[in-house]
Amino acid sequence: MTDSATLPAKRNVWILVAAQAFLGAQMPMIFTIGGLAGQSLASNLCFATLPISMIVLGNMLCATPMSALMQKYGRRAGFWAGCLGGSAGAAIGAWGLVVASFPIFLLGSFVTGIYMSAQGFYRFAASDTASDSFRPKAISYVMAGGLVSAVIGPQLVKVTADAMVVPFLGSYIAVIAINTIGSLLFLGLDIPRPPVAKQGESLGRTRLEMLKTPRVAVAIICGMVSYALMNLVMTSTPLAVVGCGFTRNDAADVVSLHVLAMFVPSFFTGHLIARFGVERILALGLVILAAAGVVGLSGVQLGHFYVALILIGIGWNFGFIGATSMLAGAHSPAERGRVQGMNDMIVFGCVTLASLASGGLMNCSGGTPEAGWNAVNYAMIPFLVLAGGSLIWLMLLPKQQAA
């Protein structure tokens, strides 16, 4: 980290990197096995990915209250609430597996969304004590912590998925342990609470006023599209890989490389943003996402899955970190809780729809895994057009009007 960062900012970033690495491992675990476990419990295969959709729905519904909680009580309180939600969700999910109840399993997935919501604020917390020049790098470093989770998560699935008589039960017990141990990391976090506005002081822009700000609106759109398309493809990938004749371990390896691709670029994404500008990096991310769709449509050999998912990961990294950096620089401290909660509610609302659509497209489009996989990749096109068009519009606006 550069000398331009203060010691408290560096310490906070390292704590958040560790949290992203260790606590974050539960997300690739659950995303790898959620659809497969759902497929074994659901009476209709079209609902196989519904558990993952419920996680994202819980994330979306928790975004605004989680942001408000952190605004009032601080980041540490919010992150502890996330760990509690992660443990509770895993416990309920494990219960659902033991009694073979799809509704109970779905409830556990929904509660897991509390953790996912809290994790989404790690990136914003990294910018709270960072200078303007250090902000994109701080966000990027924290996202890079996902590199470790990308290794730990899928490997834990291999070790725990069949460790007990009930398939996947061991994985959910491991998630409880991860949240319990990982919650201790936040004891060292030192991020001041936002100052409480005194009577008569401005509380900043309303949500509607912020949505009318071009830079805020485009940041939300690009973040929404980047995350939704990544989720759309990743959710259906284990089903597609297994459906096309490969093994569950093959699916875990594909997801593992995908998550690595999501986070390895984080070591330099912040530097690229600082050098070339956030708009150019966002545009590059969208181009890479489009390239992933082309590869996905070109075949269903194992190599096609690997390349497509690697490209999806890199495109997500540039798009999502770029959108986060753009948004973090477009609001005041007083507006922090309002705009960040609104952003994540909109972003993960779209991600929820994408994950819901993923199972239907994969299992109920054309009758074969190949046809379903093609439908998933074709579905990316209109969203890429939306994000690309909005970014071009922003870049053509005069700087004063875009701010």
Residue 196, in any domain of the structure: no
Give the pLDDT score at 3.
45
Residue 237 belongs to domain with CATH number: 1.20.1250.20
The answer as to whether 152 is a domain residue is yes
Residue 362 lies in a domain: yes
At 97 the pLDDT is: 92
Split into its structural domains, the chain has a count of: 1
**Domain assignment of residue 110, given as a range:** 7-190+207-402
Q: What is the pTM of this model?
A: 0.75
Residue 226 domain flag: yes
Asked if residue 70 is part of any domain, the answer here is yes
Written as tens digits, the pLDDT of the chain (403 aa) is 544 556 777 888 899 999 999 999 999 888 878 878 887 887 777 777 788 888 988 988 888 899 889 888 889 999 999 999 999 999 999 999 999 999 999 999 999 999 999 998 898 888 777 776 777 788 888 888 888 887 888 888 889 988 888 888 999 999 999 999 999 999 988 887 766 656 555 667 777 778 888 888 999 999 999 999 998 998 888 888 988 888 878 887 888 788 789 888 888 888 898 889 889 999 999 999 999 999 999 998 989 999 999 999 999 999 998 998 888 777 766 777 778 778 888 888 888 788 778 877 887 777 788 888 999 999 999 999 999 999 999 988 876 655 5
* Structural domain includes residue 383: yes
**Is residue 200 assigned to a domain?**
no
Q: Does any domain span residue 202?
A: no
For the chain, the three-class secondary structure string (H helix, E strand, C coil) is: CCCCCCHHHHHHHHHHHHHHHHHHHHHHHHHHHHHHHHHHHCCCHHHCCHHHHHHHHHHHHHHHHHHHHHHHHCHHHHHHHHHHHHHHHHHHHHHHHHCCCHHHHHHHHHHHHHHHHHHHCHHHHHHHCCCCCCHHHHHHHHHHCHHHHHHHHHHHHHHHCCCCCCCCHHHHHHHHHHHHHHHHHHHHCCCCCCCCCCCCCCCCCCHHHHHCCHHHHHHHHHHHHHHHHHHHHHHHHHHHHHHCCCCHHHHHHHHHHHHHHHHCCHHHHHHHHHHHCHHHHHHHHHHHHHHHHHHHHCCCCHHHHHHHHHHHHHHHHHHHHHHHHHHHCCCCHHHHHHHHHHHHHHHHHHHHHHHHHHHHHHHCCCCCHHHHHHHHHHCCHHHHHHHHHHHHHHHHCCHHHHC
